[in-house]
Structure formats: structure tokens, C-alpha cells
Structure 1
Amino acid sequence: MSTPTNSTPQVPVNRNTSSLVWLVAEREIGSKLRSKAFLISTGILLLVALAGVLIGGFSSKSPTPDAIAATSQTAKVVEALPNVKVTEVADRAAAERLVRDDEVTAAVLPGEGPTGVVILAKKDAPTSLVMSLSISPKVEILEPAATNSLVRYLVAIGFGVVFLMAASTFGATIAQSVVEEKQTRVVELLISAIPTRVLLAGKVLGNTILAMAQIVLLAAIAVIGLIVTGQNQLLAGIGAPVLWFAVFFLFGFILLASLYSGAAAMVSRQEDIGSTTMPLMMLVMAPYILVIVFNDNPLVMTILSYIPFSAPVAMPVRLFVGEAQWWEPLLSLALLLAACVGAILIGAKIYENSLLRMGARVKLGEALRG
């Protein structure tokens, strides 16, 4: 009669701590890479990111020039305007015929008044043409913006969405993994072979590697998209902020992953995960919402760049727009590291004290006291 075998890998107890942590991390990575749902969702995310970069890059390029008819007297004036294609005609009758036949958008002819020209259109005159030929006062900007407001907004959305998607996805994955192991009693076999904190460290490490791999792939896709669409100037300006974002994201994710693991260990059913992880989800949502809403408010962005949960998004945005001094990301990173250490200690204590407690939800105070 055959003896049933346990599918859970048996871990030799004589291994050192680092090898045990890596063994657990390999288990986490392998289980995710074997999941079709994970691979499909990652592929969709990368395709959406590529499409967004390409669409944004192509749409930001100069639109199709307007076909404008002009006589020899007004041709030089029209040729000096941006985004126009001039068709020279002999007289007003020829220009009117082209306008009526929709061969040109409008015509610029000699006329009276301050500008010395008149615009001839079929129904509505192009607003850009009217504005270009209007007499406007000279404008002097005392504090010119370092970047275009639309580009600033899009960069804030980009960093915010990437942080939100990766942190929430992998945070939820860690929580589900912890509760699943509690439900199936697999965790009892695991911690009989390895220390509880080693199991936690392996889970955090494995999911951190997967999350960082996604960040690297998204960064590569962004670079490819910007090169294809000819956005070399934007690419040159966003390189350093992207590197800083990767560094901040690494420690920000470790912070969240530690707290997600501890929060999930307090419950024993998948249905109860939301009750303990909802506060953490709010902390993940905060950077996405606040940085996008206040992306053009220097004071609020400065404050957000020093709060550990929003720094991974706010500081790279400030670096991109040139509002941060050289020492600010270093100080912000130091604060994030301190918060990360605190989160690891708290998450590990909750995880260790709650992992083997089945049934009703463990209260936070009890989990901290043990």
C-alpha cells in the first residue's frame, strides 16, 4: 500500500537563513510564473502601457498643417505662421473658388485694418489662424514653468498608476497567499521546517522581485515608445526621475508588503482579507489621488514627497519638473528607509503572533502583544 506524499517542499533545517529565505522566495516566484492569470494580466498591463505611450507620443506631435490660400501680397505673412501649408493664388476669385471647393481651409487676402489682411472662410474661420493673425500685447513671464502643464500631469498619472497597480496587485497576492496557507494548514508544515520570520522574508522578497521586474519592463516599454514616437527631449528629461522612482518603489513596496503580510495573517478566511487590508489599500490609493490632484501645487507636493507612503510617486514627479534640490531625494529616501524598517518589525510581529491562530479574526492589539 502506497504512502501519500505531501506536495509541500521539505526544507532542510540545517540551511542558513539566507538560503532559506531565497528558497521561499523561489517558491513564491515559481507559483506566480506558473499562473496563467498572472501572466495574462501582466501581458495586458504591458500592452496597455505601450499603447498609452505610443498614442500620447503621436498625438503630441504637430497636427496636419492647414491648407491656406494666399495671394502674392499675403503669402509671406502666412508662411511665417506655424502649421500651415500655403497655396498661392492670383486673386480673390481664385481664392474664393478653392475655399468653396474645400481645397483649402481658408484664404488670407489683402484687406484694411490694423493687420492689413482679411480671412476668407466657407463657414468658420480656423481659430488658430485667427489668433495667429490677431494683434496681441507682448507678454513677459516672470516665473516660467520648467515643464508643460499637460506633460507634468501625464507624468504624475504615469508614476501614480504604476505604483498603484503594482503595489495593490502584489499586495493582494501576498495577502491571499498567506490566508490560503492558513486555510489549508500548509503553514503548519512550513514553519515546522523554517522560522516564521524567514517565511515572511521569503514571501516579501519573492513578490518584490516580481514587482520590480514589472517596473523594469514598464520602463523599457516607455523608453521604446518615446524613441519610436520621436520624443527624445522628453526621454532625456525623464531618465533620472524614472531611476529614482525605481529606487523609491523598491523600498515603498517592501514597506507595504510587510504590512500586507501581517494584516493577512490576522484572518483565516479569504472572505475576511478585505477587512484587515482595506486601510493599507487606502494608503496605496493616497499617492495616486493626491499627487495627481495637487501635481501643480509645490507646497503640497513637497509635503507628499516626505511622507513614506506618497514619496515613491511625489518625489520623482518633483525631480522631473525640477522643483527638488539635489539633497531632497536623499532625505526623503532616508525617511522611507526608516519607515520601511519600522513596517518590517511591526509586520513581522503581527505575522508571527497571528499565523497559527485559526478561527475568528485576531485583533490588532492582541497580534502586537502576542
Structure 2
Amino acid sequence: MSTETEPGTETEPGTRQATPAAARTTVATHDAPSFWASVWLVASREIAARLRSKAFLISTGILFVIAIGSVVAGGLLSANPSSTSVAVVGSASSVVGESAGLTAVPADDLAAAEALVRDGTVEAAVVPNGDSLLGVTVIALDSPPMDVVNALSVAPEVQLLDPASQGGFLVYLVALGFGLVFFMSALTFGSTIAQSVVEEKQTRVVEILMTTIPVRALLAGKVVGNSIMAFGQIVAIAVLVAIGMAVTGQRVLLADLGPAIIWFAVFFAFGFVMLASLYAATASMVSRQEDVGTATSPVAYLVMIPYFAVIFFNDNPLVLGIMSYVPFSAPVGMPVRIFLGSAEWWEPLLSLAILLVSTVGVILLGSRIYRNSLLRMGGRVTFKQALRG
């Protein structure tokens, strides 16, 4: 019979000596994760939560559909320019044939041409008239067909001293696209960050997290995780648009739009970090989900301003110039100016430097507000209290 003895103890046959608990217990010590390990831990959790969210997947799918649909529509319009059908009688066909945008439908006589106009087969009829300057008369049903009149009109030659590189309507669509993508992505992910902060605060999960993770790492992880998802969404949309333009034969437009898209992605990456920090900071000042909208409304206004500004002032060089240097609107204003060709080579770099400095300042301010407000429960924390600590 063999017996096992603890080190430093002696036992007699048939007896057993109790081993002290301190001698039997092995204390396992675990080092706390480093700052960057904590940041990535929180960031990966945020990314996983977004990927499991049906609302996020649906909204992303809608953005993709809109992007692909706009590219396909642009390709179809460019491949099939619109044309207006008009009935022509006799020698009027030679006048219509020289006018772009009109499709001639032959008619035997004036009565046949008028019948085509009345039944809606054509928009108007063009018939010979020896007394007219052009030698024809336009016949319509109930209102002057301005598209036909403009196509038949003789316009003087126009010379531009400083011609615009892009058409007005195209510029409007590009500006609207940049503004809409920035608005939807920033608002969607910013609201997600705010709701996550308040949810953790309301359920007091944040108190458990703060026992192992520094407050700064918790804030940084939320910002980094959602920034990665937002930036990935922007890149995916840009890739889809580029592929769609290449497939639909819009390579010339893609060459003009490509640099603006790249700069938009760069500006968005830093601009969203700034906005995400503000969303997290303002959300930490309240303790209920019902108060999130009120607390984050100032940040939402900063997201909405660039969107509405490009809608109303996309053809105003002064407003676009100001927008391209203001940190909150630079992600929209500067890419539009790059597409227009009105920005010097150094202007995007200067604007980006201003945005970087502003982002660092906002992160420091937001971190202080977040740290001082996170454990305050009950009523809403004022900015004065959040800044004081």
C-alpha cells in the first residue's frame, strides 16, 4: 500500500493528515488585456453585432440596389437618347431630318398628319408652309410642343470663355449621390453607436465592462468597429459603381468620376470617426433610449447640413468652396469640386489636414465627455457637468 504525502508533512500508517487549503489551492492569475487588445475586442463585438442585424443588412442592400440601379439607368439613357416622334408631310421631312432629337413619321397629307396628332401617335406634325421662315409649320394638339420647337429653331453659335467641364444636370446627380451616401451611412451607423452606448448604460453592462476594459478603450472600440463597417460599405458601393460603369460602357464618365470617388472615401473615413465620437459622447449623457434622439440631434444636424447644401448650392462655387474646408461638410464638398475640376492639386491635401486636426480635437473632447458621463445615472448630464467630471 502506498501513500501520498504533501510536501513537508509526515503521516503514520492508517492515518491521514488534512492538507491546509492554502496548500491545495492554486491561484490562477490572468493579466488584463492591453489597451489595443481591448479596443479590438470591443470593435470585433460591434462588427459582429452589425453583421447579425437585419436592419443593417436590409439598409445595405437598399443602398447597393440604388447604386446599381442609378448606374444601369445612366447607361441606358446614354445608349438610347430620347427622341420625339413627329408626323411629316412632303418636303417637311428634309427639315425634320436635319434636326437632332426628332423622329419623322411620314404622313400622306395634312389630314393624316392631324389624325396622328389627335390619336397620340406623334407629339406634333410638321407640314410645309411657304410663308414661314423655315418653310414649315408645327401643328400640336393643345399646347406648344417646346421640345419640337427647340429642335427646329436656329440658334446662333455660342462661344464660352471658361466652359464648364461637366454638364449641370450631371453635376447635380453626382453631388446628390455623394450627399445621399454620406447622409445615410453617417446617420445609420451614428444612431447605432448611440443606441449601443445607452443600452449598455441603461442595463448597467458598462459597469461590468469597465472592470476589465479602460473607458477610452471602450469608446475607441465602438468608434473603430462601426467605422470599419461604414468604410467597408462605402468601398463596396464605390466598387459596384465602378464595375457597373465599366460594364455599361460609361468609361469616360468613370475616368472623370474616379478621382472624386477615391477622395470621397478618404474624407469619409476620417469624417465618420469624428462624427462617431460625437455620437458616442452625446449618447453617454443620457440613461434612457427615449432620450437618445434629443441628445444626439445636434450631431444629426451636422450630418444633414452637407446633404441639403449640395442639393441647393451644387452650382454655387463660393458655397462649395466653403463646404470643402469645413470639417463636417468637406467629405461632400471637396469631392464635388474635384469632379468639377475647380480644386487645385493642393486643396484636397489642405482640407484633409484640417479635417485630421479637427478629428483629433473632437476625439479628445468626446473622450472626456464619454468618460465623465458614462457612470452618471438618472437625469440627463449637462455639457458643463460632462466637461468638469
How does the TM-score come out when normalised to structure 2?
0.83
Q: Do residues 97 (structure 1) and 112 (structure 2) align?
A: yes
1:216-259: CA deviation from partner (whole Å, max 9, x where unpaired): 22223333443455433322211110110000000000001111
Q: Which residue of 75, 85, 99 corresponds with 2:103?
A: 85
> 2: CA distance between counterparts of 1:122 and 1:189?
77
Q: Which residue of the partner structure matches residue 190 of structure 2?
A: 171
Q: Which residue of the partner structure matches residue 197 of structure 1?
A: 216
Q: Which residue of the partner structure matches residue 312 of structure 2?
A: 293
Q: Which residue of the partner structure matches residue 72 of structure 2?
A: 54
SS at match of 1:240: helix
How does the TM-score come out when normalised to structure 1?
0.87
> 2: CA distance between counterparts of 1:169 and 1:242?
20
SS at match of 1:171: helix
Q: Cα offset for 1:65?
A: 4.7
> 2: CA distance between counterparts of 1:88 and 1:358?
81
Tell me how many residue pairs correspond in the alignment: 355
Q: Which residue of the partner structure matches residue 145 of structure 1?
A: 164
SS at match of 2:134: coil
Q: Which residue of the partner structure matches residue 134 of structure 2?
A: 115
- Report if the CA contact (8 A) 2:191-2:279 is conserved: yes
Letter in 2 for 1:111: G
Call closer, same or farther: CA 1:368–1:168 in 2, change over 3 Å: same
1:74-116: CA deviation from partner (whole Å, max 9, x where unpaired): 5443222112334567xxx546425524565423436233223
Q: Which residue of the partner structure matches residue 275 of structure 1?
A: 294
Percent identical across equivalent pairs?
53
Q: Do residues 309 (structure 1) and 328 (structure 2) align?
A: yes
Q: Cα offset for 1:126?
A: 3.9
Q: Following superposition of structure 1 onto structure 2, how do residues 1-370 of structure 1 map, counting pairs within 5 Å? A: 13-59=31-77, 61-71=80-90, 73-86=91-104, 93-94=108-109, 96-101=111-116, 105-109=124-128, 111-119=130-138, 126-227=145-246, 229-370=248-389
Q: Which runs of 5+ in 2 are unaligned?
A: 1-29
Q: Cα offset for 1:365?
A: 1.7
- Report if the CA contact (8 A) 1:106-1:122 is conserved: no
Call closer, same or farther: CA 1:88–1:275 in 2, change over 3 Å: closer
> 2: CA distance between counterparts of 1:122 and 1:275?
56
> 1: CA distance between counterparts of 2:142 and 2:50?
60
1:242-291: CA deviation from partner (whole Å, max 9, x where unpaired): 11000000000000111111111111111122232111111111111122
> 1: CA distance between counterparts of 2:92 and 2:318?
49
> 1: CA distance between counterparts of 2:129 and 2:248?
40
Q: Cα offset for 1:295?
A: 1.1
- Report if the CA contact (8 A) 1:164-1:284 is conserved: yes
Letter in 2 for 1:188: E
> 2: CA distance between counterparts of 1:289 and 1:129?
35
- Report if the CA contact (8 A) 1:147-1:321 is conserved: yes
> 1: CA distance between counterparts of 2:49 and 2:193?
12
Q: Cα offset for 1:198?
A: 0.9
> 2: CA distance between counterparts of 1:125 and 1:80?
21
Letter in 2 for 1:78: V
